[in-house]
């Protein structure tokens, strides 16, 4: 029964998001599969975390859109998410939900899921709000000042936003856990989210494939074609590491940190 409700809820959310323009057609299909697994196998607590991430990040993507239009082209994809982005953010969660069905329910898998959601939420919040920083960001690896929106650049606003995104997931998690260890849980979820999003920036500064548009004289994640129509050429990173892989690594790091600290305590 829970599985049927889960699949129904996932279809409902995916259709609404597709109609609102937050998901492409392939993204909606991937959301039905990952959402169906997470809602159906994890139940209400898992559903709340996934929805907290999905709704808060969709709202932030749309907010301040006027101030962000000039930066939008720097990101390889617009605010409409395709299947690759959906799997990068929710794929690990779906796998953890599958693992959670094996009795006895392993508490650490729930904490790993919370850490993964905290990391992708932290990363989305810092990306969406960090571009509003009036102070130029600095490269996480070298400290060099870079243009706003550059992969691997961090700012104070971005870090505070990441903390906010992780904290929201942490609060949503402990609401479902009547436990004396709620404060410890909250702290390790926030920590997992922060470490995950900083790991995302480190990968963005080092191994992620970044391209150059000769017409606009700009760095971009877009390849093979920039938004202006010019072909882009790679300037740094490894050609096979795209933004979706970096996001998946971010969620994995969040899961490892949070679950790791949880297993330390228990
Ligand atoms: Zn261009």
114: its two tokens: 């919370």
As residues whose CB is below 5 A from the ion ligand 1, the structure lists: 213, 215-216, 226, 228, 230
Measured in Å, residue 62 CA sits from the centre of ligand 1 at: 23
The reported pLDDT for the residue numbered 67 is 60
pLDDT tops 80 at residue 63: no
Residues 30/87, Cβ–Cβ less than 8 Å: yes
> In the predicted model, what is the mean pLDDT of the chain?
89
Closest CA to 51 of 84, 2, 17, 19: 17
Please give the DSSP secondary-structure letter assigned to residue 263: H
87-133: per-residue pLDDT in tens? 999 999 999 999 999 888 788 999 999 999 999 999 999 988 988 88
What is the whole-number distance in angstroms between the Cα of residue 132 and the centre of ligand 1? 22
CA of 224 to the centre of ligand 1 (A): 11
For residue 76, report the distance from its CA to the centre of ligand 1, in Å.
12
Ligand 1 center–CA 197 separation, angstroms: 28
Q: How far is the CA of 229 from the centre of ligand 1 (A)?
A: 6
Q: Within the chain, how many helices (H) and strands (E) appear? A: 9, 5
Res. 71: pLDDT tops 90: no
Query: How far out from the chain centre does Cα 62 lie?
Result: 16
- Taking residue 199's Cβ as centre, other Cβ atoms within 10 Å add up to 22
Q: What is the DSSP letter of 56?
A: H
Q: How confident is the model at residue 154 (pLDDT cuts 50, 70, 90)?
A: very high
Find the 9 Cα to ligand 1 centroid distance in Å: 40
Residue 143, Ramachandran bin (φ over 0: left; ψ between -120 and 50: alpha; else beta)? left
Looking at residue 217, its pLDDT comes to 87
Would you place residue 166 in the very low, low, confident or very high pLDDT band (cuts 50, 70, 90)? very high
Please give the pLDDT value at position 68.
58
Give per-residue pLDDT as tens, 14-57: 998 888 888 889 999 999 999 999 999 999 999 999 999 988 98
CB of 20 within 8 A of CB of 140?
Answer: no
Residue bearing the bigger pLDDT, 166 or 229: 166
What is the C-alpha to C-alpha distance for residues 8 and 49, in angstroms, rounded to an integer? 17
Quickly list DSSP for 144-206: -B--TT-TTEE-HHHHHHHHHHHHHHHHHHHHT---TTHHHHHHHHHHHHHHHHHHHHHHHHT
Determine the distance separating the centroid of ligand 1 and the alpha carbon of 210, expressed in angstroms: 14
- Give the pLDDT band of residue 195 (cuts 50, 70, 90): very high
Regarding pTM above 0.85, the answer is yes
């Amino acid at each position: 029964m829970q599985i049927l409700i889960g699949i129904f809820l996932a279809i409902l959310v995916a259709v609404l998001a597709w109609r609102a323009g937050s998901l492409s057609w392939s993204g909606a299909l991937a959301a039905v599969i990952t959402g169906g697994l997470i809602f159906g196998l994890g139940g209400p607590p898992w559903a709340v975390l996934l929805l907290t991430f999905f709704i808060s990040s969709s709202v932030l993507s749309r907010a301040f859109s006027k101030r962000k239009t000039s930066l939008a082209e720097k990101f390889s994809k617009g605010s409409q998410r395709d299947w690759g982005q959906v799997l990068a953010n929710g794929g690990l969660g779906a796998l953890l939900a599958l693992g959670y069905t094996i009795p006895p329910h392993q508490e650490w898998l729930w904490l790993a899921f919370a850490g993964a959601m905290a990391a992708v939420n932290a990363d989305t919040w810092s990306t969406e709000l960090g571009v509003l920083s009036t102070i130029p960001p600095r490269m996480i690896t070298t400290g060099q000042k870079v243009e706003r929106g550059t992969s691997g650049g961090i700012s104070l606003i971005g870090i505070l936003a990441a903390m906010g995104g992780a904290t929201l997931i942490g609060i949503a998690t402990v609401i479902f856990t009547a436990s004396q260890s709620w404060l410890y849980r909250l702290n390790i979820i926030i920590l997992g989210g922060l470490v995950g999003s900083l790991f995302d920036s480190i990968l963005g500064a080092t191994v992620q494939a970044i391209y150059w548009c000769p017409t606009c004289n700009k760095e971009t994640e877009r390849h093979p074609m920039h938004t202006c129509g010019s072909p882009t050429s790679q300037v740094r990173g490894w050609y096979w590491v795209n933004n979706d892989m970096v996001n998946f690594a971010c969620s994995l790091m969040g899961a490892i940190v949070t679950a790791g600290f949880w297993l330390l305590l228990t």
